[in-house]
Amino acid sequence: MTTNPVNGALHGLKVIDLSRVLGGPYCTQILADHGADVLKIEPPQGDETRGWGPPFDAHGTASYFLGLNRNKRGMTMDLAQPAQREALLALLADADVLVENFKTGTMEKWGLGFGTLSAKFPRLIHCRVSGFGADGPKGGLPGYDAAIQAMVGLMSVNGETDANGGQPVRMGVPVVDLFTGLNAALGILLALKEREKSGQGQFVEAALYDCGLALLHPHSANHLLDPRIVPGRSGNAHPNICPYDTFATGSTPIFLAVGNDGQFGKLCELIGAPELPGDPRFATNRQRNAHREVLKQLLEAKLKQFDCEPLADRLVRAGVPCAPIHDVPAALADPHTQHRGMVVEIGDAYRGVVSPVKLSRTPATYRLGPPTR
């Protein structure tokens, strides 16, 4: 974790950020953490996530906004006003990247569409984060994380099984928005790399709908290979791998993520069930999947002799993927979280989770708290 102003990998890159809420701001925070000069331009009423609380900081700004907008300079513009649009064009004259997530057609209505901007600034990379893209049956419609989760099938595979009274459940974090922001940043970097050869900018689009569908692995792969498979909810269990689920112990539950026969054999050895790998029902992953319910019962009968935390530590050190199930405070306070420098403080008022990308020579730096108003 670096807070001093060393030059990051994207030092010298100038980004104009017109985006609001999550996907766009997450994208530009990734760029800013790695050295880009990001100017966040908000409408007069501000980014709406400033009010998405509690909790709020001493300035009345919600934690939701604070978590997505560090390392950015800030200003306000009303782009409905022609003079403000001219001011934006002046800022774009020496910018490398423009990021926005206006409803499709808005920038074009203002005379700021990609065609117009690329004619003025041929090296500019224009990135749009949208709900569904500009065309197609849903083209131009607004998109929201939870609605996309429902539409693309993510909710259909999340939740307890029908046998346990389950219903489709929204994932507890906005995975579609975050994944879209990550793909937007990746698309920008790809366009920057290509610009080194061509000297030309291009339009980069990251749509929530596309990114939500891309998150469906392995369920989409299972169905595309065998259309008879209709993926559904399996609780914490994996549709393809066994044992890969939550299991009761003598204290709190443990999550086992056993991915191969060797790991299964080691697990059975360490919990006192060395006979299970030799049982034809459990010899391979395919056979374990076919007999997963009886295997779970047999494993839990042994696991109930152990406390979760020491058992999890012993298993993972022996090469068996597993973990205790922590809540958010426990995860943030974990000694390994601290060792990895995953929480940063900027001044006295800002604490946040840092970039997970670690570069040896040009690490991410944390220079500015989120812009105030």
pLDDT digits (tens, 9 = 90+) for 66-110: 999 999 999 999 999 999 999 999 999 999 999 999 998 999 999
Q: Report residue 316's pLDDT band, with 50, 70 and 90 as the boundaries.
A: very high
Question: Hey, is 17 helix, strand or coil?
Answer: strand
Assigned CATH for 254-324: 3.30.1540.10
**Percentage of the chain with pLDDT > 90?**
95
Cis peptide before 363 (omega within 30 of 0): no
Mean pLDDT along residues 38-61: 95
Instruction: Write out the H or E segment, with its range, that includes residue 257.
Output: strand 254-257
Give residue 84's pLDDT: 97
The CATH number of domain 14-215+339-353, selected from 3.40.50.10540, 3.30.1550.10, 2.115.10.20, 3.50.50.60: 3.40.50.10540
Q: What is the mean pLDDT of the chain?
A: 95
- Could you tell me the pLDDT band of residue 1, with boundaries at 50, 70 and 90? low
Domain residue ranges of the chain, discontinuous segments joined by +: 14-215+339-353, 254-324
pLDDT, tens digit, 9 for 90 and up, residues 271-313? 999 999 999 999 999 999 999 999 999 999 999 999 999 999 9
pLDDT at 236 over 80: yes
State residue 164's pLDDT score.
Answer: 82
Q: What pLDDT band is residue 5 in, cutting at 50, 70 and 90? A: low
Task: Choose, from 33, 37, 47, 177, the residue flagged as catalytic.
Answer: 177
Question: How many angstroms from the chain centroid is the CA of residue 128?
Answer: 18
Assess whether 96 carries a catalytic annotation: no
Res 204: pLDDT: 98
CB 23 within 8 A of CB 17: no
282 contacts 276 by C-beta, under 8 angstroms: yes
Q: Cβ atoms within 10 A of the Cβ of 136, count?
A: 11
Range name among 22-26, 182-186, 231-235 with the lowest pLDDT average: 231-235
The pTM score is 0.92
Predicted confidence at residue 373, as pLDDT, reads: 80
Cis peptide before 243 (omega within 30 of 0): yes
pLDDT at position 280, please?
96
Q: Please spell the DSSP secondary structure of 121-174, one letter per residue.
A: -TT-EEEEEESS-SSSTTTT----HHHHHHHHTTGGGSS--GGGT------SS-
Q: Region 11-32: what's the mean pLDDT?
A: 98
Q: What is the DSSP letter of 259?
A: -
- The CA angle 98-102-108, to the nearest 5 degrees, is 80
Q: What pLDDT is stored for residue 2 in this prediction? A: 61
